[in-house]
Amino acid sequence: MHSVFCILLLAGCQATTTGTVKQDVSVTDQTKKLEKEGARYAGPEYTIGIIKFKNKTPSRVLGLGESATDILVTLLKSAGLEPISLTEDAMKEQEELIKLQQTGAVKTGQKKAEEGFVDLDFRVSGAITAYSEAEEGSDVLIVQSKTQVARVQVDYALVDIATGKSLVAKSGMGEYKKTAGGFLGFGSKTTADVGLRDGAMRDALSKALEEMVKELNKRPFQGRIVLVEGSAVMIRAGERSKLEPGTKMAVYRAGQDLIDPETKRVIGKREKQIGEIMLTGHQGERVSEAKVTSGSGFQPGDIVRVVK
């Protein structure tokens, strides 16, 4: 009996931990929910620009913004979307060009700066507004355990590049727990690690992405005309769009800028339908060919959307 007790005592000296970053969803099952939602996503492999998340936590915990951006890239890819990270320098240059074009200091070419980066369909931006870590302890007979809990709050927005409209703008919470267990007080120590932080972040961003995927699933396909040759129209779509030959699409011309009366910034454009086209086939992953079925005067840059 004494020897058995010693074995138990020695075993208790080893800490046992539960919870891993990728499976933190022991708390919320969020990863499973995201995987299920991603499996239901039947839309195009949109290209989504990710602007580095801002760290607005009072304590300014190091690495939060970078961690959020990296995790979101991975989650978007797993959901069947194509993520592109946008640097702050690139965004500043774009903002400056928008100002110069709006003041007339720089002439506008075929594409205005506020229409965004040419290959992007949507962009995601956000901020980490709160982050905390706490330690909880429990004693059951001669067994002790300590649980570290990380909680994070994230604000995020999904914006349509073509119109400038926010499709999703919400705030969400994430939580991650890691438990260390010991015997008679031995081995029940936990140490701070980035896994705790990243687990909470992954939980929050998984919830955010679930909302984005739901919204994208509601939307008809949207692309742009890249070339017009007689009745043949080349559009940015391709095999990635998952569109079938014979699909009908409406063509829209972006018109006058819609300007916010308070900020004086362009928030979108007035659109007018100018005709319809029908998809005839794909030329690779990103380009498709269509033929004109109604309307005329189509130009590169005109917007095309699936007619439902």
| Per-residue pLDDT tens digits for 241-274 | 889 999 999 999 988 877 878 877 777 778 899 9
Band of pLDDT at residue 11, cut at 50, 70 and 90: very low
Q: Are 202 and 22 in contact (CB under 8 A)?
A: yes
Cβ-contact 224, 235 below 8 angstroms:
yes
pLDDT at 137: 62
- Among 250, 254, 242, CA closest to 293: 250
Q: To the nearest whole number, what is the mean pLDDT of the chain?
A: 76
Burial of 116 (0-12, 13-18, 19+ CB in 10 A): buried
> For residue 187, what are the contacts with CB-CB under 8 A and spacing of at least 6?
12, 13, 14, 15, 16, 180, 181
What is the structure's pLDDT at 142? 54
Name the band, by pLDDT with cuts 50, 70 and 90, for residue 19.
very low
Topology of the domain covering 222-306: Thrombin, subunit H (2.40.10)
d(CA 47, CA 82): 5
- Give per-residue pLDDT as tens, 202-252: 899 988 988 898 898 888 888 889 999 999 999 988 887 889 999 999 999
Would you state the structure tokens that stand for residue 146, as one six-digit string? 């300590």
Measured between alpha carbons, how far is 38 from 30 in angstroms, rounded to an integer? 12
Beta-carbon contacts of residue 212 (< 8 Å; ≥ 6 apart): 124, 158, 167, 168
The ranges assigned to domains in the chain are 14-129+154-171+190-218, 222-306
Separation between Cα atoms, residue 55 and residue 53, nearest integer Å: 7
Annotate 247-275 with b (16+ C-beta within 10 A) or e (fewer).
bebbbbbbeeeeeeeeeeebebbebeebb
CATH number of 14-129+154-171+190-218: 3.40.50
Cα–Cα distance for residue pair 178/196, rounded to 1 Å: 7
Mean pLDDT check: name the lowest of 48-52, 160-164, 182-186. 182-186
Say if CB 56 and CB 68 are below 8 A apart: no
Whole-number pLDDT of residue 138: 56
Q: For residues 184 and 9, what is the distance between their CA atoms, to the nearest angstrom? A: 8
Of residues 127 and 61, the one with the higher pLDDT is 127
Tell me phi and psi for residue 254, to 5 degrees.
-75, 130
First to last CA, the chain: 76
Mean pLDDT value across residues 88-116: 57
pTM of the model: 0.63
Residues in the chain: 308
